[in-house]
Amino acid sequence: MSLAKPAMRGLLGKRLRFHLPIAFALSLVAAAAFKYGVTEPRKQAYADFYKQYDTTKEFNNMRDAGVFESVRTTGE
């Protein structure tokens, strides 16, 4: 009932050969997930917002609300 001699060399190499491709793949997945989960929707949100953004209308709304210091509210 003699046991097999355990692996004495190449342990780090074996570990790296196993773990590095996985690490690389997971990093790519994380980057892709962030790109398509966060940055692309954000770019789209900005694009959609400015597509129908009326600068003058928003300015007048803000002015009527009284948040400006250099522009008086309409009707003053």
Partner 1 sequence: MLHLTTGRVGCLLSKQAVVALTGSGARMSSHGHHEVSDSVDMSQPMYWDRLDTPLPDRPWKDVLDSTDKSLKQKEKGPWTALSKEEKIALYRLKFNLTYPEMKRPSHEWKTVIGGMFIVFGITGLVVFWQCHYVYPPQPPTFDEEWQAKQLQRMLDMRTNPIEGLSSQWDYKNKQWK
If the CB atoms of residues 40 and 58 are measured against partner 1, the closer one turns out to be: 58
Q: What is the DSSP string of 2-42?
A: PPPPPP-S-HHHHHHHHHHHHHHHHHHHHHHHHIIIIIHHH
Q: What are phi and psi of 61, to 5 degrees?
A: -60, -45
Q: Where does this chain touch partner 1 (CB under 8 A) — which range of 8-16, 17-25, 29-37, 43-51?
A: 43-51
If the CB atoms of residues 27 and 73 are measured against partner 1, the closer one turns out to be: 73
Positions that interact with partner 1 (CB under 8 A): 42, 45-46, 49, 58, 61-62, 65-67
